[in-house]
């Protein structure tokens, strides 16, 4: 991210030089017009004259040059200063936007004329290039320059004439490419990345179809344990596997998708996916439902159907996955199995004994009762499904998780769904690819090959693969690399938000949006799945008043680079099961960057919620603390008109707000400017006592007037209250 900031600054410097060169050229020819990028300085008066400032040291931000501080990319070095008598920023912005609209209209007209054939025949090419230039999508400024032989500066100059401020990595759209190519008199054709990708996928499918159907064999069923947090999913898996996974996760809740293999008493095997039950992990549960053959919905007998229970059932139904319900904790106080079945029928899961088609088994993970009955039911479902896969041939499957492990590097946890995966084979998954260097089973033992229905950790990929993405074994390493690189380019551009380039319009919009407070975060996590969940959950905490901006999110420990980025962007560093390196800790202490570490997701979200609430402006409430009647009015040459009063009830404080009424009508309101008891200035006067007081800016007191004394308090707002208010506001607008 820091490199990207430097790159943007370099691009701005290039653009500035191009504009200055244009201005100098016009000055030579005598055609000097006002530059849209810089305001001409006003003549100084005699009193204002002084030494001429050095170039580049202007205190005013020039329109057209990217203000990195306004974009929130670097610390703000100086406050914008309004120059008296000069044009305002809004005036310059409006004029610049008007000029830009005219430029875009001309560009659109040129493009329409070109497509209709209403333009003169192309002149001689301005570049030494013969024939058609083939460009591979996505086309960046850099790749366009390399393919056409036109220098980056010339292409950038052309794009500036179209009112686009770009970097060398900006992806150009088709219209922009056509206009630039037309200007340089060259013919271009864009070869879509799908051409290469389509060819590779056709080869993969052809290889799969060539596999002998006689190699089809029964594979282990894949079971996904789903349900509400703390209903005993992991404990139930422990009971099946005779392990103690539940005690290992922080907070006693599952926060990753775990994949295991269990061998039953009769020798048959089952593959188990353990999905998180916390509300934040909705996307993980969705992936678990789509990657599984049978969903085991765990419901606590003492707690019943909860929000995540209903959501997990909906995911399984949407994926067309059969559901078996495990009613757990039947030995717990307050357990009510029949009530649970009734609640389940309310979400469309009717028990077989109630005339439905959903198997429901009563179990106790703690006492290990009902486990055999649950497994028998699961195996019956798998026999009905007749689960088969190719035991031979190239493998394909799904990515369950990706993480960074010490001593291993990038590790992808995958589930092989068909074929056989072997060490040294080439794997393509999303924007990642590589040769499988090593494989480990669910117990951490190295293996050479693995068949369908089996989870395995693989090492050798160049990037963290997207969780939930399908992986393929490919035989053409070169094409796999090209496809992965093209996908990576698209992903990188999407992450930067550079799909259409940065225009002056976008720049002004971003500056205007900077009025909202921003909580900037650098997020690090131990695994890709948790990273995605936390990034989305944190962004969802944003309000109209405070925006949560995750400026960087990555897997791995907190590094010195993360601290540098946080310092530059004035951000907080959040580590989820990710510790700071020694050098990073010292750097953070030196530059006062705050690092917060967590190992339980709800603690992280609760903590950040408190930070956001501290940034919200408080509500003000008025509380009546006393009532006063004016008995007599005094006039003093020193103090003016004073109301002699008696406190009827409550307490009168000097800093309070007051509302004066006469004959039932309010005449004035304002803060008390003085409060005296006899001749002494006092801070407060209690019930039953007499006092003299004045209200700011008012002197027309009369005996019999009543004064209500009010204390104005600031009350902190909660995030829930703000979200509810914004929801009502949105609904009212709709």
Give the per-residue SS3 of 482-527: HHHHHHHHHHHHHHHCCCCCECHHHHHHHHHHCCCEEEEEEEEECE
Q: Do 447 and 574 share a domain, yes or no? A: no
**pLDDT category, 709, cuts 50, 70, 90?**
very high
In-domain check, residue 600: yes
pLDDT of residue 590: 92
**pLDDT category, 342, cuts 50, 70, 90?**
very high
Last residue of a domain, one of 366, 386, 406: 386
Higher pLDDT, 244 or 395: 395
Q: Do 227 and 335 share a domain, yes or no? A: yes
What is the number of H-type helices and E-type strands within the chain?
A: 18, 32
The structure's pTM equals 0.55
Ranking 15-19, 362-366, 656-660 by mean pLDDT, the lowest is 15-19
CB 220 within 8 A of CB 268: yes
Q: What is the CATH number of the domain that holds 254?
A: 3.40.50.300
Last residue of a domain, one of 561, 595, 615: 615
Q: Do 276 and 369 share a domain, yes or no? A: yes
Last residue of a domain, one of 473, 495, 517: 495
Beta strands in 637-664 (DSSP E): 640-653, 657-662
Peptide bond into 443 cis (omega under 30): no
Mention every residue, 6+ apart, whose C-beta is less than 8 A from residue 587: 560, 563, 564, 593
CB 277 within 8 A of CB 237: no
Cα–Cα nearest to 699, from 620, 615, 643, 619: 643
Provide the token pair at 314.
Answer: 């909906």
Q: Do 273 and 306 share a domain, yes or no? A: yes
Q: Do 636 and 693 share a domain, yes or no? A: yes
Bridge partners of 658, per DSSP, are 670, 709
DSSP string, 226-273: EESTTSSHHHHHHHHHT---TTTSGGGS--S-EEEEEE-TTS-EEEEE
In-domain check, residue 685: yes
Q: Do 412 and 319 share a domain, yes or no? A: no
Ranking 122-136, 144-158, 705-719 by mean pLDDT, the lowest is 122-136
Query: How far does Cα 293 stand from its chain's mean position?
Result: 31
In-domain check, residue 369: yes
CB 436 within 8 A of CB 423: yes
Q: What is the CATH number of the domain that holds 702?
A: 2.40.30.10
pLDDT of residue 449: 93
* 256-260, 276-280, 569-573 — most confident range: 569-573
In-domain check, residue 447: yes
CA distances from 597 to 71, 401, 464 (A): 27, 21, 22
Q: Do 627 and 641 share a domain, yes or no? A: yes
**pLDDT category, 22, cuts 50, 70, 90?**
low
C-alpha–C-alpha distance, residues 113 and 106, integer Å: 11
Q: In this structure, are strands 188-191 and 133-136 parallel, antiparallel, or unpaired?
A: parallel
**pLDDT category, 728, cuts 50, 70, 90?**
very low
Mean pLDDT of 52-59: 41
Cα–Cα nearest to 434, from 443, 423, 418, 442: 423
C-alpha–C-alpha distance, residues 544 and 548, integer Å: 10
C-alpha–C-alpha distance, residues 612 and 213, integer Å: 59
> Does the pLDDT value for residue 26 go beyond 70?
no
> Does the pLDDT value for residue 69 go beyond 60?
no
Q: Do 174 and 264 share a domain, yes or no? A: no
pLDDT of residue 495: 59
Average pLDDT, the chain: 76
> Does the pLDDT value for residue 61 go beyond 70?
no
Mention every residue, 6+ apart, whose C-beta is less than 8 A from residue 543: 612, 616, 719, 722, 723, 726
> Does the pLDDT value for residue 288 go beyond 50?
no
Provide the token pair at 652.
Answer: 């009168």
pLDDT of residue 586: 92
pLDDT of residue 200: 73
**pLDDT category, 17, cuts 50, 70, 90?**
low
Q: Do 232 and 352 share a domain, yes or no? A: yes
Q: Do 252 and 360 share a domain, yes or no? A: yes
pLDDT of residue 256: 44
Give the number of domains in the chain. Answer: 5
> Does the pLDDT value for residue 23 go beyond 70?
no
In-domain check, residue 109: no
Tell me the three state secondary structure of residue 539: helix
In-domain check, residue 575: yes
pLDDT of residue 135: 81
Tell me the three state secondary structure of residue 294: strand
pLDDT of residue 84: 40
Q: Do 236 and 357 share a domain, yes or no? A: yes
In-domain check, residue 100: no
Rg (CA), the chain: 35
pLDDT of residue 64: 41
The range of the structural domain enclosing residue 601 comes to 503-615
C-alpha–C-alpha distance, residues 68 and 11, integer Å: 12
Higher pLDDT, 177 or 119: 177
Cα–Cα nearest to 719, from 570, 543, 565: 543
In-domain check, residue 108: no
Q: What is the pLDDT of residues 644-696, one digit of tens each?
A: 999 999 999 888 999 999 998 999 999 998 998 888 889 999 999 999 999 99
Q: Do 365 and 245 share a domain, yes or no? A: yes
Cα–Cα nearest to 482, from 62, 199, 154: 199
Higher pLDDT, 168 or 105: 168
Provide the token pair at 328.
Answer: 């757990």
């Amino acid at each position: 991210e820091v490199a990207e900031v430097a790159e943007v600054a370099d691009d701005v410097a290039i653009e500035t030089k191009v504009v200055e060169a244009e201005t100098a050229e016009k000055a030579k020819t005598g055609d000097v017009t006002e530059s849209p990028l810089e305001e001409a300085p006003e003549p100084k008066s005699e009193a204002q004259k002084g030494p001429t400032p050095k170039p580049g040291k202007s205190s005013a931000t020039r329109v057209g040059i990217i203000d990195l501080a306004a974009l929130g990319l670097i610390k703000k070095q100086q406050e914008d200063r309004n120059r008296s008598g000069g044009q305002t920023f809004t005036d310059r912005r409006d004029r610049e936007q008007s000029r830009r609209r005219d430029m875009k209209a001309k560009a659109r007209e040129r493009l329409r004329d070109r497509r209709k054939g209403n333009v003169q025949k192309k002149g001689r090419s301005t570049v030494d290039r013969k024939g058609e230039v083939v460009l591979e999508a996505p086309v960046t400024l850099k790749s366009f320059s390399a393919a056409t032989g036109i220098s980056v500066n010339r292409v950038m100059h052309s794009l500036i004439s179209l009112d686009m401020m770009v970097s060398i990595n900006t992806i150009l759209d088709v219209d922009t490419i056509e206009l630039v190519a037309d200007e340089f008199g060259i013919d271009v054709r864009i070869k879509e990345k799908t051409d290469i990708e389509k060819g590779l996928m056709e080869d993969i499918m052809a290889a799969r179809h060539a596999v002998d159907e006689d190699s089809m064999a029964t594979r282990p069923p894949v079971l996904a344990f789903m349900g509400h947090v703390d209903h005993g999913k992991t404990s139930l898996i422990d009971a099946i596997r005779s392990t103690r996974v539940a005690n290992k996760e922080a907070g006693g809740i599952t926060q990753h998708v775990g994949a295991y293999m269990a061998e039953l008493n009769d020798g048959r095997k089952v593959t188990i996916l353990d999905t998180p039950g916390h509300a934040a992990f909705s996307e993980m549960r969705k992936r678990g439902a789509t990657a599984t053959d049978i969903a085991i919905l765990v419901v606590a007998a003492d707690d019943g159907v909860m929000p995540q229970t209903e959501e997990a059932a909906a995911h399984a139904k949407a994926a067309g996955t059969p559901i078996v319900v495990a009613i757990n904790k039947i030995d717990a106080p307050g357990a009510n199995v029949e009530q649970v079945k009734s609640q389940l029928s309310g979400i469309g899961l009717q028990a077989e004994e109630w005339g439905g088609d959903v198997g429901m088994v009563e179990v106790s993970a703690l006492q290990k009762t009902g486990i055999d009955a649950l497994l028998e039911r699961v195996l019956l479902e798998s026999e009905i499904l007749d689960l088969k896969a190719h035991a031979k041939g190239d493998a394909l499957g799904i990515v369950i998780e990706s993480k960074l492990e010490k001593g291993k590097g990038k590790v992808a946890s995958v589930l092989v769904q068909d074929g056989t995966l072997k060490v040294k084979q080439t794997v393509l998954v999303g924007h990642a690819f590589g040769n499988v260097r090593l494989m480990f089973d669910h117990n951490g033992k190295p293996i050479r090959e693995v068949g369908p229905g089996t989870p395995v950790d693989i090492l050798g990929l160049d990037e963290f693969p997207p969780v939930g993405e399908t992986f393929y074994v490919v035989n053409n390493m070169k094409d796999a690399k090209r496809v992965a690189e093209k996908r990576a380019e698209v992903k990188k551009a999407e992450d930067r938000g550079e799909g259409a380039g940065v225009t002056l319009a976008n720049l002004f919009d971003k500056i205007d949006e900077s009025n909202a407070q921003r909580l900037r975060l650098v997020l690090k996590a131990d695994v890709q799945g948790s990273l995605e969940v936390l990034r989305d959950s944190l962004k969802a905490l944003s309000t109209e008043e405070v925006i949560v901006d995750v400026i960087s999110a990555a897997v791995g420990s907190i590094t010195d680079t993360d601290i540098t980025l946080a310092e530059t962007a004035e951000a907080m560093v959040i580590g989820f099961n990710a510790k700071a390196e020694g050098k990073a800790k010292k750097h953070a202490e030196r530059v006062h960057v705050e690092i917060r570490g967590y190992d339980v997701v709800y603690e992280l979200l609760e903590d950040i919620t408190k930070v956001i609430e501290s940034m919200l402006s408080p509500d003000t409430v008025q509380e009546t603390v006393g009532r006063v009647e004016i008995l007599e009015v005094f006039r003093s040459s020193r103090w003016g008109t004073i109301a002699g009063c008696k406190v009827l009830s409550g307490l009168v404080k000097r800093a309070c707000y007051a509302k004066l009424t006469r004959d039932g009508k309010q005449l004035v309101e304002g803060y008390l400017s003085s409060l005296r008891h006899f001749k002494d200035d006092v801070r407060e006067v209690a019930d039953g006592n007499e006092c003299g007081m004045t209200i700011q800016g008012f002197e027309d007191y009369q005996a019999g007037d009543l004064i209500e004394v009010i204390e104005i308090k600031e009350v902190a707002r909660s995030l829930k209250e703000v979200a509810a208010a914004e929801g009502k506001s949105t609904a009212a607008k709709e």
